[in-house]
Chain A
Amino acid sequence: MSFEPTIVGFLCNWCSYTGADLAGTSRIHYAPNVRVIRVMCTARIDPTFVLKALHDGADGVLICGCHPGDCHYSEGNYKMMRRYPLLKKMLADYGIDEARVRLEWVSASEGQRFADIVDDMTQRVRELGPSPIKEGLARDMAER
């Protein structure tokens, strides 16, 4: 059986989660590999969540928020916009492949876009293979 990645998705309630719901009401099909966790705003997303997801075995993490300027809470997505480059840099220094963590802006009307992003990311992570983190840390504890 070939490898199917598990991707944890953090979606903001007002834009991207609604956009994902729209993909559903429009019956747009996409890969089943993303498991969505709803937050009110991408501003709520602590980089720690991303690291925890990777630590706990996620092969990838997808973050979706409102387009800049459209945030329901006025500026929440700008906070994510500021944290994200620093998080990416840290992930790169920890040797995590760039394609495993991704930030996209998806509006409430962009059901198709959400589906396309999920399909694209799933394919890229599939090509990368399973994330080495969970197994690697387990092996560290078993052998020196």
Chain B
Amino acid sequence: MADKLQIAIYWGAACGGCDVAVLDTNEFILDVGAVADIRLWPIAADGKYKDVEAMEDDELDLSIYNGAVRNSENEHIARLLRQKSKLLIAFGACAYMGGIPGLANLTTRDKIFDTAYVDNASIEPGNHKIPRPETEIDGKVLDIPAFYRRVYRLDHVVDVDYYIPGCPPQPDQVKAALLAVVKGELPAKGSVVGAYEHALCEDCPRTRNEKKITRFYRPWEIIADPDTCLLEQGVLCAGVATRSGCGARCPTSGIPCRGCYGPAPGVVDQGAKLASAVASIVDSKDPEEIQTILEGLPDFTSFAYRYGVASSLLQRSHRP
């Protein structure tokens, strides 16, 4: 057992896409299977929590955690895996930055519950039930994971060794990152791996020219020229503020980048930088005109922080 790598792959508040990304490495996963024992992988293998609990500390060589931390189970397993692993990787945008679940941080738990369990067309008025973490049945206490007030990143609750960005991380990057682990060729702790050191524009095939915007368009409002930068044509693309590594698949396919690989290295707040860049190139010096042009960006906050609310400087709404 000691010869083979001991691995765990786990999902917190996740969609399953990151696990599929691992499977998307195709034959490679069989190679992995040949050199590693996957001791926990809820989507694909039999390992149970109690198996992990029974392990020695650091018995696992590597744990890959995808998904954000939204409830107490997510946190509990994160801590468990941290304890039992030599290396813990935050895999995918959710674990790295909070991801799409992080958008919930712009509202409140109460409002979410209201929409899900109370003020909902499929619920009989007056007949709603809001879940609670604990209940008593026949003198026994039954509990379910507690739903936290906000979304946390993985590194909010445990120490993280490496981050692999992406929603999901692209399979060839996953391969490269896992190989690096296997070979022991790892950069400094805390690094982002499986991605490049510059923004997406570097790898985008579209040509880039003068950037002056007099009007923003939703992607469906115009037929954008396929060979020219989308942002220049007024279609909001987060590529300028997003780390590359995904192969620029989205803009190559005709849709704007949404920022899933997170900020460029060294940038603290991706959304703020995108706001600064996009606003700066608005071609007007008149306050009213500027306002009108910016109104072509509905819900800019959710776009700019689509994957990163939980890793923005403010992290969540602070409405009293």
Which chain A residues have a beta carbon within 8 Å of chain B's beta carbons?
46-48, 51-52, 54-55, 68, 75, 78-79, 81-87, 89-90, 93-96, 131-133, 136-137, 140-141, 144
Selected contact of B314 from candidates A79, A81, A86, A133, CB within 8 Å: A133
Contact between A48 and B269, CB atoms less than 8 A apart = yes
- With A47-B275, A79-B280, A82-B280 in contact, is A94–B106 under 8 Å at CB? yes
Q: Are B313 and A86 in contact (CB under 8 A)?
A: no
Interface residues of B toward A: which range? 35 or more
Q: A94 contacts B301, CB within 8 Å?
A: yes
Judge if B255 is at the interface, Cβ distance under 8 Å: no
CB pair B294 A86 closer than 8 Å = yes
Given contacts A48-B273, A79-B280, contact A85 B318 (CB under 8 A): no
- In the assembled complex, which residues on chain B have CB atoms less than 8 Å from the CB atom of A68? 285, 287
B289 → chain A closest CB, angstroms: 10
For the complex, is B41 an interface residue (Cβ under 8 Å from A)? no
Instruction: Enumerate chain A residues within 8 angstroms of B146, measured Cβ to Cβ.
Output: 144
Min CB distance B83 to A, Å, is 19
| Residue in B closest to A132 when the chains form the complex, CB atoms | B318
A-B contact pairs, 5 of them (CB 8 A): A51-B272, A52-B313, A79-B279, A82-B279, A87-B275
Listed stretches B16-24, B148-156, B169-177; interface member: B148-156
CB <8 Å contact, A140 and B315: yes
Q: Which of A52, A54, A90, A96 makes the CB contact (< 8 A) with B275?
A: A90
* A141→B152 CA distance, assembly (Å): 9
* Interface status of B233 (Cβ within 8 A of chain A): no
Q: Which of A81, A83, A94 contacts B318 (CB 8 A)?
A: A94
A144 touches B148 (CB 8 A): yes
Query: Closest approach, in angstroms, between the C-beta of B130 and any C-beta of chain A?
Result: 18
B135 contacts the other chain (CB 8 A): no
Asked whether A51 and B313 contact (CB < 8 A) given A82-B284, A95-B319, the answer is yes
Given A86-B294, A87-B275, are A140 and B280 also a contact pair (CB < 8 Å)?
A: no
Contact between B314 and A55 (Cβ–Cβ < 8 Å)?
yes
Kindly list chain B residues whose C-beta atoms are within 8 Å of the C-beta of A94. Answer: 106, 301, 314, 316-318
Task: A82 to B211: give the CA distance in the assembly, Å.
Answer: 14
Contacting pair A85 B313 (CB below 8 A): no
B316→A85 contact, CB < 8 A = no
B239-273: contact bitstring with A at CB < 8 Å (1 yes, 0 no)?
00000000000000000000000000000110111
**B291 interface residue per 8 A CB criterion:** yes
CB pair B290–A95 under 8 Å, yes or no, is no
Chain A residues positioned under 8 Å from B285 (CB to CB): 68, 75, 78, 81
- Are A140 and B317 neighbours in the complex by a CB distance under 8 Å? no
Q: Which residues on A sit within 8 Å (CB–CB) of B317?
A: 93-95
Q: With CB as the reference atom, state the residue of chain A lying closest to B299.
A: A93
Query: Which chain B positions have C-beta within 8 A of A136?
Result: 316, 318
> Are B300 and A90 touching (Cβ within 8 A)?
yes
> Do A47 and B314 touch across chains, with their CB atoms under 8 A apart?
no
A48–B268 CB distance below 8 A:
yes
B25: interface (CB < 8 Å): no
B228 contacts the other chain (Cβ, under 8 Å)?
Answer: no
Question: Is B64 on the interface with A (CB-CB < 8 A)?
Answer: no
Contacts of B319 in A (CB 8 A): 95
Contact A144 B75 (CB under 8 A): yes
A133 and B318: CB pair below 8 A? Answer: yes
A25 CA to B319 CA, complexed, in Å: 41
Complex Cα–Cα for A84 and B275 (A)? 9
Which 6 A-B pairs give the minimum distances between C-beta atoms? Answer: A95-B319, A93-B301, A95-B317, A51-B313, A83-B279, A48-B272
CB contact between B282 and one of A54, A82, A96 (< 8 Å): that residue: A82
CB distance from A50 to the nearest CB of B (A): 8
Which residue in B268, B275, B316 is a CB contact (below 8 Å) of A83? B275
The residue on B at minimum CB distance from A48 is B272
Q: How far is the CA of A100 from the CA of B245 in the complex (A)?
A: 38
The reply to whether A85 and B315 form a contact with Cβ atoms under 8 Å apart is no
Residues in B whose Cβ lies below 8 Å from that of A90? 271-272, 275, 300-301, 304
Task: Give the residue name and chain of the B residue nearest to A84 (CB).
Answer: B279
Given contacts A82-B294, A87-B272, A144-B75, 17 further A-B pairs with CB under 8 A are A46-B273, A46-B276, A48-B268, A51-B313, A52-B313, A68-B285, A75-B285, A79-B280, A82-B290, A85-B291, A89-B300, A93-B302, A94-B301, A95-B320, A140-B149, A140-B150, A140-B152
